[in-house]
Amino acid sequence: MGNKRVMVSEYGGPEKLQIHEEPLRPSQPHEVRIRVHSAGVALGDVMRREGKFLGGPATPFTPGYEAVGFVDEVGERIKGIPKGSRGAVFYNGAGGYAQYVYATADEFYPVPEGVDMGKAVAVILNYVTAYQMLHRVAKVVSGDQILIHGASGGTGTALLELGRLAGLRMYGTASAPKHDIVAGYGAVPIDYRSEDFVQLMRSRVPDGVDAVFDPIGGSHWVRSFQTLNKKGHFVGYGYTSVLEEEDSSEWAKNWTYLMTNQTTPQGNPACLYSITTLRKERPDWFREDLAHLFHLLVEARIDPVIAERIPLTEAVRAHQLLETSQTAGKIVLTNPCL
């Protein structure tokens, strides 16, 4: 038997994603092997592929934070994970784009029976990110007003859905064709291409919002600071503007400043959220929050938006769609032959 993985052998555009075939190795004693059904695609994968992710992997590497599938081999030291069970793996940003993946006990998470595997993938990265930013970082309460940038994306729609469950009053930036999606969660859509979100928020919420969630970085962060009230939280969870820049040194400088000071220049509490960092610091939170979100999925209280399901062998197309913002929600890679 063999295994197919998507590999990045050198940094660059989507064409640098290549299919690599290799023999299927047995599990090590401390591992389970998972036959992947679905793997998630994220903007962090694009940034790593281009070599612009701060502290990202050296080439060659396989992209992908998360994958779900079926346990098909269990190492002799692994206890309590039966062969054939549903499971998910979460990596620190690299490893998920493959037909088979391997997980140690701390990388493995059980997936409930009966849930859609693509939606389960969306829960692992996007919904845990959204839940932790809302409840572990910003500590929102019902009635709070928040601003969400990139509101039609995988994490943006997760923030909207979880924000609605939490009773928040929400505003979300998105392109005009995606405003129906934003409004469908009860949020006020803002066209980032034709509207000045700072001026609009000042007219709608003169005292400022209680939290803003911004994955863009650079000068966009500076403008987001201006929408906060005196005690409002700024939460940065990415720096996608680096994809438009030749030099990523500005990212490192801005990121380091906020990480060090933990406040905006105006004195608002600021957090730069990283799911991999918080998972390393508080693995109990990650496991607890993922279990809670899977419970919400089972009860149909959340319903992740799946933009497209694309075969693993067409990972290039998945990245092209993500980079050009042609879809709303989560893009999922599938292994339909397995």
Q: How do the domains of the chain map onto residue ranges?
A: 2-111+305-334, 125-277
How far apart (Å, rounded) are the C-alpha atoms in residues 90 and 265?
A: 35
- The tally of CA atoms less than 13 A away on the side-chain side of residue 108 is 26
Sign of CA dihedral 325, 326, 328, 329: negative
* Parallel/antiparallel/unpaired status of strands 145-148 and 169-174: parallel
- Report the helix count and the strand count for the chain, using DSSP H and E: 11, 15
Give tens-digit pLDDT for 289-329.
999 999 999 999 999 999 999 999 999 999 999 998 888 99
Q: In whole angstroms, give the CA distance from residue 227 to residue 212.
A: 8
**What pLDDT score does 248 carry?**
57
Q: Average pLDDT, stretch 62-75?
A: 97
Please give the full DSSP string across 128-192, using - where no structure is assigned.
HHHHIIIIIIS---TT-EEEESSTTBHHHHHHHHHHHHTT-EEEEEE-GGGHHHHHHTT-EEEET
The residues, any chain, with a CB within 8 Å of residue 208's CB and separated by 6 or more, are 201, 227, 228, 229, 230, 232
The pLDDT of 256-267, averaged and rounded, is 86
Q: Which of 122-126, 188-192, 211-215, 244-248 has the lowest mean pLDDT?
A: 244-248
Q: What are phi and psi of 127, to 5 degrees?
A: -75, -35
Q: 25, 48, 74: which is closest to 240 by C-alpha? A: 48
The pLDDT of residue 257: 78
Query: In this predicted model, what pLDDT tens digit does every residue of 185-195 receive, in sequence order?
Result: 999 999 999 99
Taking the model in full, what pTM does it have?
0.95
What pLDDT does residue 249 have?
62
**Does position 163 have pLDDT exceeding 70, yes or no?**
yes
Q: Which of 195, 213, 208, 199 is nearest to 266 (CA)?
A: 208
Beta bridge partners of 234: 212, 270
On whether the 125-277 domain is CATH 3.40.50.720, my answer is yes
CA neighbours closer than 13 Å in the CB half-sphere of residue 56: 25
Q: Determine whether domain 2-111+305-334 maps to CATH 3.90.180.10.
A: yes
